[in-house]
Amino acid sequence: MERIFSGIQPSGIPTLGNYLGAIRNWVRLQDDHDCLWCVVDLHAITAWQDPSALLEQSLEMAAVLLACGVDPMRHILFLQSSVRAHVQLAWIFNCVARLGWLNRMTQFKDKAGKDRENASCGLYVYPNLMAADIHAYHATRVPVGDDQRQHLELANDIAQKFNHDYGVEFFPTVQPLILGPAARVMSLRDGTKKMSKSDASDQSRINLNDDPEAIALKIRRAKTDPLPLPSEIDELAQRPETRNLVGIYAAMTDRDVGAVLKEHGGRGFGPFKAALTELIVEHLSPIASETRRFLNDRVALIDLLKKGADRAAAISDPIVSEAERLVGFVRVR
């Protein structure tokens, strides 16, 4: 079976967009892959994180993943900072990757913005750490959103240069599993912007821990237009907010947009929004209550994450040791 690695930042309760776009796909990939799911707290501190918030959010993200169906027995769930191999391999990769390569990374430019001089060095070498995450396990498949494609190309460039420089075939090529269009859940206030945890308006997103009343209110207030729902997919092109709601409905029922329009086309938004609310509530309520259950027993949660870290380290330690030997470090242990 192919080995999958993917990471998610502990940046607060995920949105419905994160769920449909990433987490739900992770859960499905578990059927026919060996998976490592990592809460990437080392990546998180490339931008300032309040320590107690980081701690809470890391546990929260682990709990959410478990609540969504990540299976910590058949697969591995762990926190990045709890497995040393990531940092050890990242240092080697800092010395393999070229400045020119990192200078081309569009995400650094976006995140550093105008105040580039004040960005952390960690933000700059973020992609090298991400490459280390994957290669420390010889993972070959990486489910990510489209925005991470360039980072995976860099991971392949690093593997290739390492293999070339040290005359080995050690790190395999990784294949991105770019997650499908169901992934593109947009803001409820503006159908042209992605639904985001960082949007100023909480009304723009559904959080995985929203209660039924909050969900109902947000969907009721979600921006639409005065026309009824269209019957043809083409007609969605000019109506981003409508397309978004129909897209969410389709993703949540595992149907295509055409099928949803067949059922709801020609009707007004009132009944459609009511049906959508019901769907979302039905889906998210068990996730919210399971998340709470995992968070309420911290000792058990931390124990589960320790077991995950031990199992992750058992895979990555020998791989990173071998990389260190190839580089020419004296192995004294």
* Token pair recorded at residue 168: 């080995």
In whole angstroms, how far apart are CA 150 and each of 132, 243, 292?
15, 28, 36
Contact of 16 with 206, CB cutoff 8 Å: yes
Report the distance separating Cα 287 and Cα 24, nearest Å.
Answer: 12
Among residue numbers 112 through 131, which ones bind ligand TRP (CB under 6 A)? 130
Give the number of residues in contact with ligand TRP, rule: CB under 6 A.
12
Q: Is 241 in the site for ligand TRP (CB under 6 A)?
A: no
Q: What span, in angstroms and rounded, lies between the C-alpha atoms of 188 and 184?
A: 12
The contacts found for 23-27 with CB under 8 angstroms, 24 or more apart, are 23/64, 23/65, 23/68, 23/70, 24/68, 25/143, 25/177, 25/179, 25/180, 25/183, 26/65, 26/68, 26/70, 26/143, 27/68, 27/69, 27/70
Smaller CB separation from ligand TRP, 20 or 276: 20
Q: Is 43 in the site for ligand TRP (CB under 6 A)?
A: yes
Residue number with CB closer to ligand TRP (250 or 323): 323
Q: Is there a catalytic annotation at residue 197?
A: yes
Q: Is 11 in the site for ligand TRP (CB under 6 A)?
A: no
316 belongs to the binding site for ligand TRP (CB under 6 A): no
Q: Where are the alpha helices (DSSP H) in the chain?
A: 16-18, 24-29, 41-44, 51-68, 85-96, 99-103, 106-112, 121-124, 126-135, 149-166, 212-221, 240-253, 257-264, 269-296, 298-327
Q: By CB under 6 A, tell whether 40 contacts ligand TRP.
A: yes
Binds ligand TRP by CB under 6 A, chosen from 5, 37, 108, 249:
5
Catalytic-role residue among 193, 197, 223, 307: 197
Q: Does 57 bind ligand TRP (CB under 6 A)?
A: no
How many whole angstroms separate alpha carbon 136 and alpha carbon 209? 33
* Tokens 């390492």, located at residue: 162
For residue 218, indicate whether it is catalytic: no
Distance in Å, CB of 41 to ligand TRP, minimum: 10
- Asked whether position 6 contacts ligand TRP by CB under 6 A, the answer is yes
For this structure, is 307 an active site residue?
no
Binding of ligand TRP by 7 (CB under 6 A): yes
Give me the residue whose beta carbon is nearest to ligand TRP: 7
Minimum CB distance to ligand TRP smaller for 130 or for 301: 130
DSSP type of residue 12: S
Site pattern 130..169 for ligand TRP (x: CB under 6 A): x--xx-------x-x---x---------------------
Q: In this chain, which of 9, 46, 82, 204 binds ligand TRP, going by CB under 6 A?
A: 9
Active site members: 111, 194, 197
Q: Which residues bind ligand TRP (CB under 6 A)?
A: 5-7, 9, 40, 43, 130, 133-134, 142, 144, 148
